[in-house]
Structure 1
Amino acid sequence: MKKLLLFLPLLFLACKSSDRSVQPAVNDFREFKVLDSNYLDKDQIFGDLLDEVVSFRESDKLKGLILEKSIPEIKEAIASGQFSCRDLTLFYLKRIYTYDRENPKSLNAVIAINPNALKQADAADQDLAYAKKKGEELAYYSIKGMPILLKDNIDTNDMPTTAGAAVLIKNTTAQNAQIVKNLRQEGAVILGKANLSEWAYFFCGDCPSGYSAVGGQTLNPYGRRSLDTGGSSSGSGVSVAANFAVAAIGSETSGSILSPSSQNSVVGYKPTTGTFSGVGIVPISSYLDTAGPMTKNVMDNAILAQALGAPYDVIDQYGINSFETASLKGVRFAVWTSFKENPLYAQALLDLEKSGAVLIEIDDTRPQLNGFLKLLNADMKKDLPAYFAGQANATYRGWDVAKVMEWNRKDSLKAMPYGQSLFQGIIDEPAISDADFREFKEAMTATAQEYFYNLIKEHDLNGFVSINNYTAGAAAAAFFPAMTVPMGYDDKGQPYGLTFIAPNEADQLLFNWAAAYEKITKHRVLPENYKN
């Protein structure tokens, strides 16, 4: 493989760990000040659905038809009359009830259950029955009737949107976020809300990934108290890994889809910034924020991307028949020299080469993306009040970061046990004019894109191959799309992801590359303690 100099892209909001433990009998990878939520009660989460969920009895046959299955496989079983969308929804609700809270295997991944989930499933069953009566063929590659979890920074009209923050428990709204409207238009069942790193991991500084005041501490199903969940879409990644839903929606500013997807052995897609609408999503940075699908496989990711409102036809171009024939032959990837120290990455590169990919090895230097934190601080200082003014419940009109911090201090042990240092940084960020800030952001993006595009042009590259969220910051600043696919597990059982990065607006390429790699490796396995 040819060598050349390249930066080591910015890694921001990385997973954190230490060797400290809470209790001598438990091998915690870091100190957890809080495990279970101080705001949620297991039975209350299910509300009026509780009795039906508790009484639901899933058979081994039903488990075999649903666990780890793709959307087309599940649709085929529904079409053959083996179960209904209502059965499917109840199956996932029962798994959440069984595994998610107040038991030795609890994961604290789900923060709310949609009271209308079964009504939505019934509507999907009625639509499917009507279509069958008319002789229409079932759409195996659609999201209709499929239960989906949303990261709890995404607005819905039937559940509060808290961003994990106690102050937002009353943040109910009459409006769905635009991406939720898109999902509902396609007939998706909104199953509930997934826990997250509070305020999308831009709040408390040294808090663990997956912690929020409302949801408690989300835990990794591959190692409940020994492995990081990744953040900030922690509950979304964990929920997909443990089969709590067909799929989940996360959001990313810099690494918040890629990190928990790779840490939980699922497929995560961070699209080109601007691909999906951000209206109705609690912001960090309107300049960089994006939603994205998190799934057990690449095909499901493509189906969900379509339903979210992708402006390109992923399924037709790289789906259905072409997913089966996806190829890496002749694709030219840049790969990072230092990353080869990870044996899983080294093996992945061999797998890519055996599949016909051309790998060009690049050394590690750092891009000059100075001021990334400044960008986030300044954006959130204006974007959060804009969300409060135009999208949140009227209770929060006129609120800003300072008002949230003031509210948290009223009961700091419950609302902010790890402090709120990142919010303080937002307050302390010096003012900047709109014109200067726009120039600053555009310059950062230009710098990141120059690094990538110079290499692409000089070496005729198609894309880049990384690990987890190691290059998420540079990809975010450049608006480059990325997709991570399960790459295997180390000797401690920790999952890793192989992350493909494509040029701006070349998202469709990711699906072809990821599908081809998934097809030849098939690394993902269901967590051992959640197979029943």
Structure 2
Amino acid sequence: MSTTKLIYLVFISVLCFSSCKKEDYPEFQTWVPYDETGLIEANADKESQRLRYKLIQSKVSDRNDILNTIIPQLEGFSKERYLELSPLIIDQDIETLQNHISEDLFSYKELTQWYLYRIAQFESNRDLALNAIISINPFVAEQAEKLDAETPSKTHPVYGMPIILKDNINTQNMATTAGAVALLNNETENDAEIVKNLKSFGGLVLGKANLSEWANFLCAGCPNGYSAIGGQTLNPYGPREFDTGGSSSGSAVAVAANYAVAAVGSETSGSILSPSSQQSAVGLKPTIGILSQDGIVPISGTLDTPGPITKNLQDNSIVFSAMASAKSKISPSKVPWEIEIIKNLKGVRLGAYKAYSQDSLYQNAIDDLKTLGAEIIEIDPEPMDFEGFTELLSGDMKIDLEKYLTLYASDEVEIKTAYDVMKFNLKDSTVRIPYGQARFEGIEDLDLTEDELVDIRTKLLLAGIDYFEKPMQTHNLDAIISINNYNAGQAAAAKYPALTVPMGYTSEGEPEGLTFITKPYQESDVYSYAKLYEAASKQRKSPELYLN
């Protein structure tokens, strides 16, 4: 155990004893593991393999650790104050929250405490827990209080906003586990580059979100949103009924359930787009290279990127701007938080997939875009050749994970390579890898030379670009519109940005997203297109079970 963590645990014990006690919050339930056999059996016949669970609760973590980190930070905050502030905070955008704070309706500390209270309220409730959170920043309320005292010239709207990070992103005061037992004690010394950027503008790290373990590069065909550390993340629009998508499952769930103002995810191929669309959130997978990969547990340095997940477009652009680094190809000054306002979409040409025409929500979105003035051109591109894609990910992870473990991992982490992880997991496969580790086995079985890996990278990049460029050039398109993460693989290979926006709900109530894909460094354009669509369609609504 690190010295910092030991000091904090002593601090927690003293503070809990002297002031803020569990008895002060009887609405928070002490977590006692329950028999989940019936719930698992009820899902055994689900059509989707992704919903056939072997576990829901983590066998590694004690959920009371989250509660015990939250309660000392709630001193001076009550259930009555939570209920009083709820209409002012639930589903409100960053601009509105900042205005409320300027009007002295609440402080940054109270905003932070409201989210902490909400997480404790739901995540300690067996019937409502979503398993979205792995850890909480033990100093976040104190950090928010300092921001209240500073009264600075707020140069960026992310100032004082509590944000949740996917638990493969390094930050101080919390371990970075990637959901894996092998990284349980990975308390890194420094923040990831994007976290440094967020903090430099006054953004607050509220906690770490659950995820598909190792960013969905562990098991094959297993449920999205499962990790040994966090358990099975559940979709708030239909717990155990709808897939969460992955791998940034907890980040998107946290946004949907109003556990934070915003969240940060990461994507290699669909890992922001998939959970964002499944949780009726706005998710951006930016052009590779705009946001730093430094300090993030990798799959592929070729394709990985972090990105923001929010409830609306304006907040998304704000968080994207705050994450941007001066070292990137686009400087922060060229990643503005103000989305360019355009009156309509006249002159904008969008490609729509013929193959998706039977999806009524997609068709409704096309009609809305036409009403806004967009010209919709039906496209039916030739299928992309994905040969070598899995080998690329395996080859990159073999190299990039070893680099991460060498450069960033805590001294308490004993694994040094992907092979070490595989051996570690086999020591207790029931707890550590209940769904197996087929993808890690694929890493070890891979036999590629460096030149062969370079050739695969080049081939896939050209194939991805060709997939989009042929229809875009033929029809002079500004962007292509898709559904959810349906074309995330092609966008990943091409390194093209993609932005998903709530598109509505199926007859069963499952969310779907309208996804805009465009050429590199055109994020500002698709933000403008999508913002008009968002305003015209008004599709997003909060999950009913989590409105209070």
- Give the TM-score normalised by structure 2: 0.88
CA contact (8 A) 1:326 1:515 kept: no
In structure 2, distance between residues paired with 1:86 and 1:531? 22
Aligned positions, number = 502
CA deviations on 1:363-389 (whole Å, 9 max, x unpaired) are 253112311101001111111111111
Q: Which is further off, 102-111 or 275-284?
A: 102-111
Partner of 2:547: 531
Q: Which is further off, 406-415 or 38-47?
A: 38-47
* 1:102–1:34 distance in 2 versus 1, CA, 3 Å: farther
Determine whether 1:353 maps to 2:370.
yes
Deviation at 1:448, TM superposition (A): 1.3
Match of 1:97 among 96, 117, 120: 120
In structure 2, distance between residues paired with 1:314 and 1:361? 36
CA contact (8 A) 1:249 1:292 kept: yes
Q: Which runs of 5+ in 1 are unaligned?
A: 1-19
CA contact (8 A) 1:337 1:362 kept: yes
Deviation at 1:147, TM superposition (A): 0.1
* 1:161–1:444 distance in 2 versus 1, CA, 3 Å: same
Determine whether 1:319 maps to 2:335.
no
CA contact (8 A) 1:150 1:190 kept: yes
Report the residue type matching 1:84 in the other structure. Answer: S
Determine whether 1:213 maps to 2:228.
yes
* 1:392–1:344 distance in 2 versus 1, CA, 3 Å: same
Match of 1:149 among 164, 180, 192: 164
Deviation at 1:330, TM superposition (A): 1.6
Counting only pairs closer than 5 Å after superposition, residues 86-485 of structure 1 correspond to structure 2 as 86-128=109-151, 131=152, 142-309=157-324, 311=330, 319=338, 322-323=340-341, 325=342, 327-396=344-413, 399-433=416-450, 435-485=451-501
Deviation at 1:66, TM superposition (A): 0.4
Q: Which is further off, 72-81 or 391-400?
A: 391-400
Deviation at 1:499, TM superposition (A): 0.1
In structure 1, distance between residues paired with 2:42 and 2:270? 32
In structure 2, distance between residues paired with 1:251 and 1:267? 14
Report the residue type matching 1:412 in the other structure. Answer: S
Determine whether 1:77 maps to 2:92.
no
Percent pairwise identity: 44
* 1:326–1:225 distance in 2 versus 1, CA, 3 Å: farther
In structure 2, distance between residues paired with 1:25 and 1:482? 32
In structure 2, distance between residues paired with 1:412 and 1:318? 46
In structure 2, distance between residues paired with 1:473 and 1:348? 22
Report the residue type matching 2:519 in the other structure. Answer: P
* 1:24–1:215 distance in 2 versus 1, CA, 3 Å: closer
Report the residue type matching 1:91 in the other structure. Answer: W
- Give the TM-score normalised by structure 1: 0.91
What RMSD, in angstroms, separates the aligned Cα atoms of the two structures?
2.0
Query: Residue 498 of structure 1 aligns to a residue in which SS?
Result: strand
Report the residue type matching 1:79 in the other structure. Answer: S
Q: Which runs of 5+ in 2 are unaligned?
A: 1-37
Report the residue type matching 1:115 in the other structure. Answer: P
In structure 2, distance between residues paired with 1:68 and 1:116? 25
Partner of 2:41: 23
CA contact (8 A) 1:114 1:158 kept: yes
Query: Residue 341 of structure 1 aligns to a residue in which SS?
Result: coil
Q: Which is further off, 226-235 or 411-420?
A: 411-420
CA contact (8 A) 2:503 2:512 kept: yes
Q: Name the structure, 1 or 2, with higher relative contact order (CA <8 Å, separation 6+).
A: 1
Deviation at 1:81, TM superposition (A): 0.1
Deviation at 1:200, TM superposition (A): 0.2
* 1:48–1:450 distance in 2 versus 1, CA, 3 Å: closer
CA contact (8 A) 1:113 1:192 kept: yes
CA deviations on 1:340-399 (whole Å, 9 max, x unpaired) are 111000110011111100111012531123111010011111111111111111234661
Report the residue type matching 2:355 in the other structure. Answer: S
In structure 2, distance between residues paired with 1:340 and 1:474? 19
* 1:203–1:317 distance in 2 versus 1, CA, 3 Å: closer
Query: Residue 22 of structure 1 aligns to a residue in which SS?
Result: helix
Deviation at 1:27, TM superposition (A): 8.7
In structure 1, distance between residues paired with 2:44 and 2:429? 27
Deviation at 1:44, TM superposition (A): 1.2
